[in-house]
């Protein structure tokens, strides 16, 4: 494996462009995916971009990624604040992980200010809109380069 990255998007992110544009902007999920795939191609990264509304599917994606990917970028969305199962799967991954959120979860409702996954990831990007995904791809590339030295 070399520069194989999995981006996992959690519940409701498939509705980007339709929901709470004040928090998430007007970009659609398909446009976000296109932007990420273009950046990955530019950086010679093999990228898989996924989304699921089902907690167990996300856990399975993370478990399977252990043998197939060098790093994970995850926007667990609402599961960020509730899923011990996703946290445990990420903890088992043992490779670079970047947590990302389009909105700044620390400037939102009280229940969103607690991330159950932040303590098991390599780093996080919060509140930079859809551009945060591009920054996460670039950051992951740097993490993987440093790991391979």
Element (H, E) at 50: strand 46-51
Residue 95's contacts (CB-CB under 8 Å, 6 or more residues apart) are 66, 69, 70, 71, 72
Q: Is 133 a catalytic residue?
A: no
CB 29 within 8 A of CB 17: yes
Q: Which of 143, 77, 61 is nearest to 116 (CA)?
A: 77
Q: Is 24 a catalytic residue?
A: yes
Which residue is listed with tokens 């229940």?
111
Q: Which one of 81, 101, 131, 133 is the catalytic residue?
A: 101
Q: Which sequence positions are flagged as catalytic? A: 24, 101
């Amino acid at each position: 494996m070399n520069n194989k990255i999995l981006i996992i998007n959690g519940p409701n992110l498939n509705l980007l462009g339709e929901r709470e544009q004040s928090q998430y902007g007007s970009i659609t999920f398909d446009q976000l995916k296109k932007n990420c795939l273009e950046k990955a191609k530019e950086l010679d990264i093999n990228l898989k971009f996924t989304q699921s509304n089902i907690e167990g599917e996300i856990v399975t994606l993370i478990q399977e990624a252990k043998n197939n990917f060098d790093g994970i970028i995850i926007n667990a969305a609402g599961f960020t604040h509730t899923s011990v199962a996703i946290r445990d799967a990420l903890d088992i991954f043992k490779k670079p992980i970047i947590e990302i959120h389009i909105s700044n979860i620390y400037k939102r409702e009280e229940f969103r200010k607690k991330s159950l996954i932040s303590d098991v990831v390599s780093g996080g990007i919060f509140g930079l809109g859809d551009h945060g995904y591009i920054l996460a791809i670039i950051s992951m590339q740097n993490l993987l380069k440093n790991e391979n030295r």
